[in-house]
Amino acid sequence: MNNKVTIAVDAMGGDGSPKKVIDGILDHFKKSSNVKYLIFGNKNKIEQLLPKNIPKESFNVFHTDNVVEGKDTPLGAAKRGKDTSMWLSIQSVKDKKADIVISAGNTGALLVIAKLNLKMIENIDKPALSAIWPNKKGMSVVLDLGANIECNEKNLIDFAIMGSSLFKSLYPEEIAKVALLNIGSEEIKGNEIIKSTYQKMNQINSKDFEFKGFIEGNELMNGDVNVIVADGFTGNVALKTAEGTANFITNELKKAMSNNFLGKISSLINISNLKKFKNRLDPRLYNGAILLGLDSPVIKSHGATDYIGFSNSLSVCEKIIKGGLINKIKNNL
């Protein structure tokens, strides 16, 4: 039985590509076994970055000169042609040559090209962009993060099912605990759609997740729930706020620990604790947003991440395929 995971990689998307992408692949390859990479982009640039002694059966490079630019509109990117590195990498999944696709390129373009090439899972109306966040007790899956500004009750319930399936694929030993992001925890709070969704979710008797009601923004990191559901507008604002707050705290702590002699001494004494703190808030460790709802998984790596962040998003790809995400969603529906 062949358990090899084949990952299609758009090597030309995001800042510092293709170098950071290839460095990320090589870093991931050292830590993984039974993974194959289909790499799409400028063959001359890519092959200069690959060591001569790499196993050929694990690395296939497919040449194209055309790339989706960061400034392209989603429609403009689709019109740019079917020979861009992003389109070809997604098409390899459509053609069943790869299990999953990853790109650090233009997010809007990736969503549109993925939807043009890949079918939706039956009974899912809208795809959702999800990500993994740290909390006090472990990790959470949060969705939607911007793919859908407006959602109805069915969309939010679908997101709960897909999010809990993703959580179980990544963390099979844990229980998925779902909550709806809202402006209060009482049943009477929020708009009509979220209140109606709450009532419907309460009636679902699922073996796959526990419904925990509403959660407010200040409780996102508590760890009492681990699948947080919102419409794309609310979820995106929450994501950007959390990222900005984490960066602010990290930068202010750095300043406090380096702007005078006592601060420097204190940082030396506490170097081990500071390292743990920095690692906990390092966005590279949680890199990799997942587009859920299509019949094959699509991963969006942050365009500004470095090779370590890209390597970590390749690990997410591997876990998703080995965890049988798409089958889990279909079964849970």
Same domain, residue pair 57 and 72: yes
pLDDT of 95 > 80? The answer is: yes
Same domain, residue pair 130 and 268: yes
Count the neighbouring beta carbons within 10 Å of the beta carbon of residue 285: 15
Distance CA 225, CA 137 (A): 10
Q: Is 206 exposed, middle or buried (CB count within 10 Å of its CB: 0-12, 13-18, 19+)?
A: middle
Q: Identify the residue with better confidence: 269 or 168.
A: 168
The predicted structure's pLDDT at residue 1: 41
Same domain, residue pair 62 and 158: no
Looking at the structure of the chain, the number of domains it has is: 2
Same domain, residue pair 119 and 138: no
Q: Tell me the pLDDT band of 126, cut-offs 50, 70 and 90.
A: very high
Same domain, residue pair 173 and 249: yes
Q: Report residue 90 as tokens.
A: 């997604």
pLDDT of 11 > 50? The answer is: yes
pLDDT of 145 > 80? The answer is: yes
Q: Which domain holds residue 270?
A: 125-284
Q: How many helices (H) and strands (E) does the chain have?
A: 12, 11
- How wide is the angle at C-alpha 137 spanned by C-alphas 134 and 140, nearest 5°? 40
Stretch 106-113: mean pLDDT, rounded?
A: 91
Q: What is the pLDDT of residues 215-230, one digit of tens each?
A: 998 898 899 999 999 9
Q: Identify the residue with better confidence: 85 or 70.
A: 85
Same domain, residue pair 142 and 242: yes
Question: Which residues contact residue 193 at a Cβ distance below 8 angstroms, ignoring those fewer than 6 apart?
Answer: 151, 152, 153, 156
pLDDT of 328 > 70? The answer is: yes
Same domain, residue pair 131 and 103: no
Residue ending a domain, choose from 284, 303, 323: 284
CATH number at residue 24: 3.40.718.10
Question: Which residues contact residue 12 at a Cβ distance below 8 angstroms, ignoring those fewer than 6 apart?
Answer: 18, 21, 40, 41, 42, 67, 68, 85, 86, 105
Q: Tell me the pLDDT band of 242, cut-offs 50, 70 and 90.
A: confident
Mean predicted lDDT score pLDDT of the chain: 88
Same domain, residue pair 86 and 161: no
Stretch 121-140: mean pLDDT, rounded?
A: 91
Q: What is the pLDDT of residues 280-313, one digit of tens each?
A: 666 677 777 899 999 999 999 988 889 999 999 9
pLDDT of 12 > 90? The answer is: yes
* Predicted TM-score of the model (pTM): 0.86
Same domain, residue pair 1 and 70: yes
Same domain, residue pair 109 and 160: no
DSSP-derived 3-state class of residue 141: strand
The predicted structure's pLDDT at residue 284: 74
Same domain, residue pair 129 and 115: no
The predicted structure's pLDDT at residue 188: 80
Q: Identify the residue with better confidence: 212 or 333.
A: 212
Same domain, residue pair 136 and 204: yes
